[in-house]
A and B are shown apart, each in its own frame.
Chain A
Amino acid sequence: MKKILALVLALAMVLSLGAIAFADGDLITVGVINNDPNESGYRTANDAAMRAMFCEENGYDATFYNNNDAAQQIATAQQMIQDEVDYLLLSPASTTGWDTVLQDAQAAGTQVILFDRMLEADESMYVAAVVSDMPAEGETAVTWLADQGLDEYNIIHIQGHMGSDAQVGRTGALDAKVEAEDNWNYVTQQTADWNEETARTIVQSVIDSGDSFNVIYAENNGMARGAVAALDANGITHGKDGDVIVIGFDSDVWAMQAVLDGEWNYMGLCNPMQADKVDQIIKDLEAGTQPAEKVIYSDEPGFDCETITEEDVATYGTGVQEEAPAEEAPADDAAAEEAAE
Chain B
Amino acid sequence: MSAETKTPVKKERRSAGEVLKRMTRHQLFIPVAALVLLVLFNLIADPSFFAVSLKQNSLGNPVLSGNIISVLDNASELVLLAIGMTLVTASSGGQDISVGAAMAIAGSVIIRLVCGGQVSVDTMQTSLILAVLAGILVSMIFGAFNGVLVAYFKIQPMVATLILFTAGRSIAAWINNNQLPIVNDQVFKYAGTFIPGIPVPTPVFITIFVIVLFWLALRFTNLGLYTQSVGINANASRLNGLDPKMIKLLTYVILGACVAVAGFIRVSRSGSINYSRIAENIEMDAILAVALGGNALGGGKFNIYGSILGAYVIQFLTTTLYKYNVPSTALPAYKAVVIILLVVLSAPVVREKMSHIGKSSKRAKEVA
Contact = CB atoms under 8 A, between A and B. Distances in A.
Contacts of A254: 120, 182
Q: Which of A37, A201, A233, A336 has the most CB of B within 10 A?
A: A233
A197 B63 contact: no
Interface in B47-69: 48-49, 51, 55-60, 63, 65-67, 69
Determine the main DSSP class of A at the interface with B: helix
Contact of A235 (B63, B169, B331): B63
B170 A233 contact: no
B65 A201 contact: no
Interface string A241-275: 00000000000001000000000000000000000
Interface in A179-209: 188-191, 193-197, 200-202, 204-209
Interface in B146-177: 159, 162, 165-166, 169-170, 173-174, 177
Given A205-B67, A205-B323, A340-B174, A191 B58 contact: no
Contacts of A337: 177
B173 A37 contact: yes
B269 A38 contact: no
B245 interface: no
Given A195-B277, A196-B277, A189 B182 contact: no
A222 B277 contact: yes
Contacts of B15: none
A201 B322 contact: yes
A101 interface: no
Interface residues of A, number: 52
B272 interface: yes
A235 B166 contact: no
Interface size class of B (residues with CB under 8 A): 35 or more
B269 A319 contact: no
Contacts of A193: 277, 280
B330 to A, nearest CB: 10
A174 B124 CA distance: 40
Given A195-B277, A195-B280, A234-B57, A229 B269 contact: yes
B328 A162 contact: yes
A206 B80 CA distance: 26
Contacts of B180: 41, 44, 319
Interface of A: 1-2, 5-6, 36-41, 44, 48, 159, 162, 188-191, 193-197, 200-202, 204-210, 222, 225-226, 229, 231-237, 254, 319-320, 322, 336-337, 339-340
Given A191-B331, A205-B323, A322-B120, 17 more contacts: A1-B162, A38-B274, A48-B178, A189-B328, A194-B274, A195-B280, A201-B74, A205-B322, A207-B65, A208-B70, A208-B319, A210-B48, A229-B269, A231-B58, A233-B193, A235-B55, A319-B180
Interface of B: 48-49, 51, 55-60, 63, 65-67, 69-70, 74, 119-120, 159, 162, 165-166, 169-170, 173-174, 177-180, 182, 193-194, 266, 269-270, 272, 274-280, 318-319, 322-323, 325, 327-329, 331
